[in-house]
């Protein structure tokens, strides 16, 4: 290989190791990458390489951990955080990318010198990676064991999917969440038409795309660096999955002129800004419990040059409000299981009972929010979860305990690299 290519690979795997080490602390792969990429000014192609590697390590997190532990015959926790990160990235590169252990170790030599790693560190690394090179997955007729090794799903998650959807659909869902994440943008039609932005993307950047059936979205064939374009800086679009917009699209078509909406868990503001963009006549109040997340909402509205809504920073279960609204938009905290394709590490770093904790929180919030809905007006409830307990069963619970009737409910399973999403539009009947 040429020296430049060697340098690029060396930078790419160093960034990947740094990201994976930080991931153990903050448990958010996107945030870990953002922080590391800001700190280390490496070649953009090295960042692209590190993004691919860390995505795939995150996708296989539990599988890679088990491979390493079987080879070294002791828990990973006995190693330092740096060695754990190097082993995880190295195991992926050796086993899944067919890199020779010595090639991988040599690529990290400059990094090891900076870190002043000792001979024992290198000996352990070399021993484990050569063991990984010889590792073979044992055949198994057990579907859950097969899903662990080949679909890269925790056993508890595979079991739940099979229990809720049956084996055939569960496998399809796992396959969908292993597809390369799709990318889509919502065009800011206050500034530019959909077809005009699509033409710019094609002519200026050679992006492959199609105009979505969901207005006003453009679907891109892969993850392009759209947020580094002048068009993004000018506020001509925002990055958003079209699935997450279907409920809002339905809602704004049926609301009367100058209606009022309380967006109860609004930040970071993708759906809120869509409401403001497509229905500027609506009086919009946005609430979120997090000051930091609310700042992101404000930044998003300002970048898109949209008028700011009224803002409240409060626990949605204890809002300081007395008036009622034409709609309460309750896009509630959830397990995020529908986003496992875009955030593959989350299925490994969550707990099997996380969804139950979320249901408890969701019902607490719903109980507090339903009084804010005017008679004969709407509650728009949504999550990015695939679990029925957080979705259909919550809708049933609302109908059984409050004067609401579901008039539309839709589950959008993860597919084609898109996020899984659920929404229900309920009408207050008295």
Backbone dihedral angles phi then psi of residue 398, each to the nearest 5 degrees: -60, -45
Contact 384, 208 (CB under 8 A): no
Identified catalytic residue from 286, 334, 384, 406? 384
Backbone dihedral angles phi then psi of residue 120, each to the nearest 5 degrees: -60, -35
Helix (H, G, I), strand (E, B) or coil at 316: helix
- For residues 206-231, one letter each, b for 16 or more C-beta atoms within 10 angstroms of the residue's C-beta and e for the rest, the string is ebebeebebebbbbbeebbebeebeb
CA distance 185 to 204: 16
Is position 310 annotated in a ligand binding site? no
DSSP β-bridge partners for residue 24: none
Is position 142 annotated in a ligand binding site? no
Instruction: Mark whether 286 is an active-site residue.
Output: no
CA distance 123 to 108: 14
Is position 281 annotated in a ligand binding site? no
Helix (H, G, I), strand (E, B) or coil at 186: strand
How would DSSP label each residue in 154-166? Answer: -HHHHHHHHHHHH
Contact 205, 157 (CB under 8 A): no
**Which ranges constitute the DSSP H helices of 304-353?**
346-349
Active site residues: 384
Give the annotated binding-site residues for S-adenosyl-L-methionine.
288, 315, 331
């Amino acid at each position: 290989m040429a020296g430049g290519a060697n340098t690029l690979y060396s930078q790419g795997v160093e960034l990947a190791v740094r990201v994976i080490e930080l991931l153990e602390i903050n448990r958010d792969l996107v945030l870990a990458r953002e922080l590391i990429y800001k700190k280390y000014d490496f070649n953009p192609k090295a960042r692209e390489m590190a993004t691919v590697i860390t995505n795939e390590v995150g996708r296989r997190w539990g599988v890679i951990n088990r491979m390493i532990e079987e080879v070294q015959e002791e828990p990973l926790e006995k190693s330092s955080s740096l060695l754990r990160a190097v082993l995880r990235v190295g195991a992926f590169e050796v086993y899944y990318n067919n890199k020779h252990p010595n090639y991988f170790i040599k690529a990290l030599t400059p990094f090891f010198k900076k870190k002043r790693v000792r001979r024992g560190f290198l000996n352990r690394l070399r021993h484990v990676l050569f063991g990984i090179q010889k590792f073979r997955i044992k055949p198994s007729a057990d579907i859950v064991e097969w899903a662990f090794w080949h679909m890269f799903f925790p056993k508890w998650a595979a079991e739940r999917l099979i229990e809720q959807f049956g084996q055939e659909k569960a496998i399809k869902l796992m396959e969908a969440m292993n597809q390369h994440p799709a990318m889509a943008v919502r065009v800011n039609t206050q500034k530019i038409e959909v077809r005009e932005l699509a033409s710019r993307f094609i002519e200026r950047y050679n992006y492959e795309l199609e105009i979505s059936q969901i207005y006003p979205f453009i679907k891109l064939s892969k993850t392009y660096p759209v947020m580094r374009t002048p068009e993004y800086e000018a506020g001509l679009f925002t990055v958003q999955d079209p699935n997450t917009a279907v409920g809002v699209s339905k809602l704004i078509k049926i609301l009367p002129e100058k209606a009022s909406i309380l967006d109860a868990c609004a930040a970071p503001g993708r759906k809120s800004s869509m409401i403001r963009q497509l229905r500027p006549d609506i009086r919009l109040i946005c609430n979120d419990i997090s000051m930091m997340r609310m700042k992101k909402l404000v930044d998003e509205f300002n970048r898109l040059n949209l008028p700011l809504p009224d803002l409240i920073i409060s626990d949605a279960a204890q809002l300081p409000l007395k008036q009622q609204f034409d709609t309460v938009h309750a896009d509630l905290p959830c397990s995020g299981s529908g986003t496992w394709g875009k955030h593959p590490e989350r299925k490994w770093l969550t707990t099997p009972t996380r969804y139950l904790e979320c249901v408890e929180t969701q019902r607490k919030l719903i109980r507090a929010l339903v009084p804010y809905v005017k008679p004969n007006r709407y509650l728009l409830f949504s999550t990015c979860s695939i679990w029925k307990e957080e979705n259909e069963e919550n809708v049933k619970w609302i109908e059984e305990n409050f004067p609401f009737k579901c008039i539309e409910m839709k589950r959008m399973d993860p597919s084609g690299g898109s996020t899984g999403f659920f929404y229900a539009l309920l009408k207050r009947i008295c």
